[in-house]
Chains A and B, each alone.
Chain A
Amino acid sequence: MSRKTIAPIDMATVHQLEEDCYKVRKKLLTLVYNIGLGHLGGELSMVEMAGALHYRYLNFNVLDPHNPERDRFILSKGHCSETLYSIFSELGAYSLEYMVENFECLDKSKFGMHTNRKYCPQIEVSAGSLGHGLPIAVGMALAGRKQKADWSVTVMTGDGELEEGSNWEALMSAGHYELGNLRLIVDRNMLQMTGPTATVMNIDPLDKKLEAFGWDVRVIKDGNDMLQVCQALDALPTPDSQTRRKPIAIINCTEKGHDVDFMAGNVKWHGGGIAKAQYEEAMESLEKNWKERQSKWQ
């Protein structure tokens, strides 16, 4: 694999990615319904960005996860693992049955609530404790510079997660080292476990803070709109491990629980399982929203 060249987005591709994300959400809900554990709010908010990256923008082959030339993707909000598992499944690595059977089953586990790279080879970094992904990403990007690598490093954090101080140490060092092969995506869904980020611990003005730490900051106004996600990713400079420039930060404004109406924007759906009646209602909601979206395509 060498550096992937990506043509500018066309609407047919956007629609295909939207359909991919619809399938990912269905699989995610079904997986969480079956295993009884999840963090659906944040897992649903990140689908478009995680989907666009894994289906189109990253140099990533789900069946060749340890290829040395792959782009590195770190999910720092490791509790949202099931979105990744669902993507890996939709891309052909695992069946739903396999994931359910091998989820947190003691010494046979292949999947856990929090990401683990030893169990699941498509996972780049074992995570769970918040504020760890970004410092690790800085180290990976420095290794890329030393190795004159073509691969890039993308790390996705939550927004509440940015309250952890270790992130700000890493934001400082990434700005200091001017890592041109590093991209940060903040899944800015505005909610954390017990309430709005603005009232639990305000992180705004996030754009100005990131800029002050030496980052090139982009904002996606609606990170659950695939066209906006693709346009933002298309507009990024090609990752370059050798050229010193500001690392890229994307504030991806999303909605927690997106596309399941009774979960959308509802802090109660941060974590937990989902009952049968709720699962059925959620799947209906997904389908309704999907049909509405399709109806706007013409």
Chain B
Amino acid sequence: MAVNTTFDFDQMLSNAREAYGEELLRMADDGLDFVFTYSDNVAPSSSAGKLIAKYPERCFNFGIAEPGQVGAAAGLALAGEVVYSQVMGPFLSLRSADQIHTDIAYNDVNVRLIGTHAGVTAGGGPTHNCIADLALYRAIPNLTVVVPADAAQCCQAIRTCLTVDVPMVLRIDGAVDPAVYADNDYEFEFGKAIEVLEGTDVTIISAGSPVYWSMMGAKKLKEEYGISARVIDMHTIKPLDTEMILKCARETGNIVTVEEHSINGGLGSAVAECLMANGFSGKCKRIGMPDEFAVLGETDAIYAYYGMDPAGIAKTTAEMLKK
């Protein structure tokens, strides 16, 4: 049974990059004890900026030095602090890989890394594209990887992760996207995927902003191709909800994945691995960034260029089913 979503209604804008700061500020105001480390990209006018101004004794700027920041976040946690640590996504994953692996996951500390600007949402070309991070994170043991679908879910993830003692990465895109969920009246649990749209012919599995695009793609599939597509919000990439994947494979027979990431090593790879290991014989297609340094342009234009927008998702899915 699908949950209550917004996609048939007027678009409610949702900005997860702003939301994490809003939630941290609310949590601090609620008296929750945590520290916040950050890089030199938090605007004073943002919610995270307000958190820093209001609670300076627990917020630490590390400038432009990601490995040093992630290492220090581990040190804070080893000394008993619960740590949220914000870094711009491409530099978190690629620059601090050893620190995430060794200081955070291997040392098993209570750090929640917040990687912002996922996918190509930072703009500025391949140096600022964050499309290899999930491949890295998936291969690191003892690391929970969460990709919120909208701002409200981001807030839920930010607060809920206080209840679990695991090293975690929250991957947030920077785009202002419509909210997926109409309200917070649904169960959010790490590792438990959510069916956001019912369907019978194919399942589109997605995470982050692409969940909304997948829903719009499903709408097009129904209206233009007569195809009934189910949409799954796989907000936790690791541990992966394999039960949900296999259930959808059984019930709809065909699988498509959509992600703001290279098609190599991310959500699509994780789903494909799960399907192959379980004898899947249906059709499967991974939609995402191809194995090339991306073309330059506006975020939405790049995603459309690579067929990740609703029209592209619908077209690829329909063509896959036709073959």
Contacts and interface: CB of A to CB of B under 8 A. Distances in A.
Interface of A: 68, 72, 117-118, 124-129, 131-132, 134-144, 146-147, 149, 165-166, 169-170, 172-173, 177
Nearest to B60: A142
A126 B107 contact: yes
Contact of B79 (A135, A143, A170): A143
B65 A173 contact: yes
B75 A142 contact: yes
Given A143-B76, A173-B62, A173-B68, A135 B99 contact: yes
A132 B71 contact: yes
A166 B76 contact: no
A143 B81 contact: yes
B50 interface: no
16 contacts: A126-B106, A126-B107, A132-B71, A135-B67, A136-B74, A136-B75, A139-B37, A140-B76, A142-B60, A142-B72, A142-B76, A143-B76, A146-B35, A147-B79, A172-B68, A173-B62
Given A129-B102, A142-B72, 15 more contacts: A72-B79, A135-B71, A135-B103, A136-B72, A137-B75, A139-B37, A139-B74, A139-B75, A139-B76, A140-B75, A142-B75, A166-B99, A170-B71, A173-B65, A173-B72
B32 to A, nearest CB: 14
B311 interface: no
Nearest 8 pairs of A and B residues by beta carbon: A139-B75, A135-B71, A169-B68, A143-B79, A139-B72, A169-B65, A136-B75, A140-B75
Contacts, number: 98
Contact of A136 (B57, B60, B78, B81): B78
A169 B61 CA distance: 12
Given A136-B72, A139-B75, A147 B80 contact: yes
Query: Is chain A's interface secondary structure helix, strand, loop, or mixed overall?
Result: helix
B108 interface: yes
Given A146-B58, A147-B80, A173-B62, A139 B67 contact: no
Q: Among A118, A144, A166, find the residue whose CB has the most chain B CB atoms closer than 10 A.
A: A166
Given A165-B67, A170-B68, A173-B68, A135 B75 contact: yes
Interface in B219-241: none
B71 A166 contact: yes
Given A139-B79, A144-B79, A146-B57, A172 B65 contact: yes
A126 B63 CA distance: 26
Contacts of B106: 126
A139 B73 contact: yes
Interface in B187-209: none
B36 to A, nearest CB: 11
Contacts of A138: 68, 71-72, 75
A138 B78 CA distance: 11
Interface in B68-96: 68-81
A118 B108 contact: yes
B273 interface: no
B156 to A, nearest CB: 27
Given A126-B102, A135-B103, A166 B79 contact: no
B78 A139 contact: yes
Contacts of B102: 126-129, 132
A71 to B, nearest CB: 12
Nearest to A167: B68
B98 interface: yes
Nearest to A177: B60
B67, B71, B102, B108, most chain A CB atoms within 10 A: B71
A144 B72 CA distance: 12
Contact of B107 (A125, A141, A165, A166): A125
Contacts of A135: 67-72, 74-75, 99, 103
Contact of A132 (B37, B60, B79, B99): B99
Contacts of B77: 139
